[in-house]
Structure 1
Amino acid sequence: MKQTRLLVPLLFCCLVQSAYAQQSFPDKTLKLGKLPGSFYFTWGYNRDWYTKSTIHFRNTTTDNYDFTFVNAKAHDRPDLQDFYKITSLTVPQYNLNVGYFFNDKHDLGIELSWDHLKYIVTDNQVMHVQGQIRGHQIDKDTLVTPDFVHLQHTNGNNYLMINLVKRQKLWQSKNIQLSAIGKVGAGPLISYTISTILGNSQEGPFRYHGVVAAVSGGLKLDIFRYFFLQTDLQGAWADYTNTKLGADHQGLATHHFYSLQYKYLFGFNFPLGKRQFTSSPPIR
């Protein structure tokens, strides 16, 4: 009986509080804050440019070489001939991003990105080669043919990164919004290497090869609420420290380089909750 007497005033207080809340704020505003922000998904393709790099090759267990390529040139490979076919979507250099905007006043977000680039050391170029190869010293400019050394990360030179994203709105109409997008991120290199060194060939598998860090900036055009187009220009530093060579994986190649990547993307927004409304003055 005592519990019943305590329960009635408590229920009365709850009803009064609920009624006051409904009078002070419109129902739409109440629903809004429970699930703020929005998820997004992007897909697109890229072109890439690389700086020259110094590549060190070493195997002192199953072979006998320890030499360096100085200022090796490399290039990308777009492979866009049949990108529109469902079975060929991942053949070209592609980009896949999944992210979340917190939708607060700072317009910040977080993103998981997979950038599939292709890196190929250009065959038949003249490079300075220093070191020793099977007991013979070398220190001269050399024509490097595929029979001597061939190295490519084409399946690929993959950047797996977590990015902090900043959005700055530039212009807005009823159904279109233009924003500037900036990102900074880092993560592992998960690459698949194809190589030939002194006649010993090797392909794959996918493995951890090193680390990458990147910054980027671009433009995002939101069309209505759910669809957008985006372009990004990304500068990255890639450090390959664990590239295994040869069929026995006893050889090792190490190098680092900078890349410039241009991305063209489309994507979808998945807002959480209802559309944001401006706050209304309390009803007195």
Structure 2
Amino acid sequence: MYNLFDPRNKQKFGSTKQKLCVIVLCFLFNSSISANENEVPLTIHDKKGTWNIQWGYNRSSYTQSDINFRGPGYEYTLKSVNAKDKPESFRADVYLNPSKFEIPQYNLKISYFFTDRFFLAFGEDHMKYVVTPGQPVKYSGYIDPGVIAKNQTALSLESALFIYLFPEHVQQMAGYHGGDQIITLTPDILKYEHTDGLNYLFLDFGWITPLYTSSDGLSGLSLVSTIGGGPVVCRSDVRVFGKGQNNNFHLSGYGVSGYVATRYEFSRTYFLEFGGKGGYIDLTDVLTSGGSNRASQNFGFLELVLSGGIAI
């Protein structure tokens, strides 16, 4: 019969107990190794639940636009007006200074991936829009001669100089015009800029399509596409017949757009992106020379955007 109290049996029991502990520890250790071996390492394609934050700069171009001006005593339209952007020259004290981030034409976007491929993004495209001075345009509408005379009592410096040298130029616009007349957009006629700027605030739906992935899955090339739209907030610097001001920020209209870009990702954390965004902007309520004076216009735009970002 087995006697637990027999010293010889106690020694055997202890030895058996030690062996059992070793077996259990080996089993747990092997299980841990197997679990780690079976765990698939994350790659750049594992995006669900992550955020992307990116910052960049743009060059922009615009289609011709009919600009309608209206206020007490006048309503007229300048036809097929050309405009261009106004990029800031590269200077380290501007582009590398966080306190001056709003000076260049910049792009800010924050994205959230609700699946590995699809995401929602919101942000701002800070563009600048400047009507090209000196261009000849056709115009139509009515301008009360009294409006021109009144505006000349509060002239800007550049307007005053031009009116002094060419006093009859602005007077051509007084009265009714059917649309065949041509006027040159000199400072006494118009200064029109959205340089602080043409701020397109957007909400986009987007998706990402892998093009190439490195063997370790930590870097690769992808195609990024988005569609969306949102409000446009302008700060417009305008002079009409020599009178005007640099207005406050104002909700001026809306835009819709599409975006396509090539993205290079590395280390699963950082990425560089180069793309183009095209769209349509309708500005229905632009502040001009104060009071109830307004302008409206619509145009197409195209941006080339270079940006960099981080995934978190």
Q: Quickly name the TM-score band, shorter chain normalised.
A: 0.7 to 0.9
Which residue does 2:221 correspond to in 1? 178
SS of alignment partner, residue 205 of structure 1: coil
SS of alignment partner, residue 95 of structure 2: coil
Instruction: Give the number of aligned pairs.
Output: 239
Distance in 2 (alpha carbons) for counterparts of 1:72 and 1:132 = 18
* Larger relative helix fraction: 2
Distance in 2 (alpha carbons) for counterparts of 1:80 and 1:111 = 29
- Amino acid aligned to 1:137: Y
1:246 aligns with 2:289: yes
- 8 A Cα contact 2:95 2:104, kept in partner: no
- Deviation per CA, 1:22-69, whole angstroms, max 9, x where unpaired? 99x95896xx9xx94210100010001100001100002xxx111101
Distance in 1 (alpha carbons) for counterparts of 2:53 and 2:35 = 32
Distance in 1 (alpha carbons) for counterparts of 2:290 and 2:220 = 53
1:65 aligns with 2:56: no
- Deviation per CA, 1:61-84, whole angstroms, max 9, x where unpaired? xxx111101100000011133243
**Matching residue within 123, 133, 137 for 2:176:** 137
Distance in 2 (alpha carbons) for counterparts of 1:65 and 1:84 = 42
Which residue does 1:81 correspond to in 2? 90
* Deviation for aligned residue 1:230: 0.3
Distance in 2 (alpha carbons) for counterparts of 1:26 and 1:108 = 30
**Matching residue within 260, 280, 300 for 1:258:** 300
SS of alignment partner, residue 192 of structure 1: strand
- Amino acid aligned to 1:176: S
Distance in 2 (alpha carbons) for counterparts of 1:254 and 1:118 = 17
| Structure 2 unaligned blocks of 5 or more | 1-30, 146-174
Distance in 2 (alpha carbons) for counterparts of 1:162 and 1:80 = 29
Distance in 1 (alpha carbons) for counterparts of 2:243 and 2:303 = 32
- Amino acid aligned to 1:37: G
- 8 A Cα contact 1:200 1:247, kept in partner: no
- Amino acid aligned to 2:136: V
Distance in 2 (alpha carbons) for counterparts of 1:36 and 1:126 = 54
1:53-132 mapped onto 2 (5 Å cutoff): 53-60=65-72, 64-82=73-91, 83-86=94-97, 87-104=99-116, 107-132=117-142
- Amino acid aligned to 1:79: E
Q: Which runs of 4+ in 1 moved over 6 A?
A: none
- 8 A Cα contact 1:178 1:219, kept in partner: yes
1:161-240 mapped onto 2 (5 Å cutoff): 161-173=202-214, 174=216, 175-240=218-283
Distance in 2 (alpha carbons) for counterparts of 1:268 and 1:146 = 45
Q: TM-score, normalising length from structure 1?
A: 0.79
* Deviation for aligned residue 1:193: 0.6
Q: TM-score, normalising length from structure 2?
A: 0.72
* Larger relative strand fraction: 1
| Structure 1 unaligned blocks of 5 or more | 1-21, 271-284
- Deviation per CA, 1:159-203, whole angstroms, max 9, x where unpaired? 100000110011001231110000001000011111000222121
- Amino acid aligned to 1:67: Y
Distance in 2 (alpha carbons) for counterparts of 1:95 and 1:178 = 21
Distance in 1 (alpha carbons) for counterparts of 2:261 and 2:233 = 25
Between the aligned residues of both structures, percent identity stands at 28
Distance in 1 (alpha carbons) for counterparts of 2:133 and 2:307 = 31
- 8 A Cα contact 2:64 2:82, kept in partner: yes
